[in-house]
Amino acid sequence: MRYHPIHMVIVVAAVLFILFSEENALSSEYITVQEFNAIHPRQVGIGKKFSELVKAKGIPTQKETQQKPVKIAFIYPGEQASDYWRRSITSFKARMNKIRIQFDMVEYFSKPVVDYREQERQIKKALDRMPDYLVFTLDINKHKRIIERIVTEEKPKIILQNITTPLKIWEGKQPFLYVGFDHAIGARLIAKYYIRKTYGTGRYAVLFFSQGYVSTMRGNTFIEYLQKNSDLKLVSSYFTDGNREKSKRATIEILNEFPDVKFIYACSTDVALGAIDALKEKGAQNKVMINGWGGGSKELEMIESRNMDITVMRMNDDNGVAMAEAIKYDIEGRKNDVPTIYSGNFVLVEKGLGQDNLNKLKKRAFRYSGMN
């Protein structure tokens, strides 16, 4: 085959183009809430109003609004120590009933992370039922690849839970709702706590979740914040896949290698529980501080028993309420009043907090899912 000079020019130009394009592709995969609001300024107002709606008691929809029950498919990594997912569903159902939305819900719970093909199968099954809404969480890249197959479709509408930072590549075709608690905010709250307790000096270790979104948002945000705002040195970090046992083993290794660490930052409840197990075993409970993440029931027990130093408590049930109110607005034809991102509030809970105060927080956070 003979090459014309023009072909050479085109090939060279293409190579340069690729190099240039590659540089862009290396930029961050996610958009923070602040970045998203900057791109979509209207979202700020919409978000505020929606937050007020979530905090409110809920107004039943008109009967004639809904012709038939909405079909909702929940696919949750619910088989975890954290009761976040369970409480979300409970509060969601309760709010749906309160605002009198008829719904037909199918729930799929799977183990987090590892059961990838299982989740695919569940999604397939769920989609075969032609749901109106698919509630799903996003963790590893494979999840993203599954969601992207349907994110450009008109149906089902996707609610991504436990994520508040939209994917950059989905800009322009974002899912119906991102709902959760901003990991970055929680991470910064805990970071500030540790800076205060350590006066910003000393060494620390990090126990990541699995590789993926949660680890990135909770772990990296925390590390970056400390780097910028303190002299604390990260000496060791582990991916634990959210596994309590793996976390325990990783903690023991850390304590053996770096016995002077002032605290170990855990990226989830199960990870924190594994770390507490290790601290107990090594008798380092009062020497090395440990945190929880989310303020679920297990964590609060640990706070009460003074085994855990600090946690960020999510006003858990607001997530379920937000999903219910978003569906209600959609049914009512007020899709534009639904924000793309709903981020719930956090409260910092430290060991030693009185029982009454704790109960008040629980009552607020679990207003639909209950105190226990």
Residues that bind other proteins (CB under 8 A): 10-11, 13-14, 17-18, 20-22, 24-25, 114, 116-117, 120-121, 123-124, 140-142, 144-146, 148-154, 169-170, 172-173, 211
Rounded to the nearest whole angstrom, what is the least distance from the CB of residue 145 to other proteins in the complex? 6
Q: What is the full DSSP assignment across 99-119? A: TT--EEEEEEE--SSS-HHHH
In terms of CB distance, is 277 or 330 closer to other proteins?
Answer: 330
Task: Name 351's Cβ contacts closer than 8 Å, sequence gap at least 6.
Answer: 303, 306, 308, 309, 310
In terms of CB distance, is 21 or 355 closer to other proteins?
Answer: 21
Rounded to the nearest whole angstrom, what is the least distance from the CB of residue 180 to other proteins in the complex? 22
In terms of CB distance, is 62 or 141 closer to other proteins?
Answer: 141
In the three-class reduction of DSSP (H, G, I as helix; E, B as strand; rest coil), residue 235 is classed as strand
Going through 240-344 in order, the beta strands assigned E by DSSP cover 261-266, 289-290, 310-314, 341-343
Rounded to the nearest whole angstrom, what is the least distance from the CB of residue 177 to other proteins in the complex? 15
- Residue 245 · residue 251 · CB < 8 Å: no
Pairing of strands 289-290, 341-343: unpaired
Which letter does DSSP use for residue 30 in this model?
B
Rounded to the nearest whole angstrom, what is the least distance from the CB of residue 135 to other proteins in the complex? 17
In terms of CB distance, is 15 or 56 closer to other proteins?
Answer: 15
- Residue 210 · residue 113 · CB < 8 Å: yes
- Residue 325 · residue 58 · CB < 8 Å: yes
In terms of CB distance, is 65 or 141 closer to other proteins?
Answer: 141
Integer CA distances (angstroms), 198 to 100, 193, 265, in order: 50, 9, 13
In the three-class reduction of DSSP (H, G, I as helix; E, B as strand; rest coil), residue 234 is classed as strand
In terms of CB distance, is 109 or 170 closer to other proteins?
Answer: 170
Rounded to the nearest whole angstrom, what is the least distance from the CB of residue 123 to other proteins in the complex? 6
Rounded to the nearest whole angstrom, what is the least distance from the CB of residue 6 to other proteins in the complex? 8
In terms of CB distance, is 136 or 346 closer to other proteins?
Answer: 136
- Which element (helix H / strand E) includes 76? strand 70-76
- Which element (helix H / strand E) includes 135? strand 133-137
Structure tokens at 295: 């303020």
Rounded to the nearest whole angstrom, what is the least distance from the CB of residue 21 to other proteins in the complex? 4
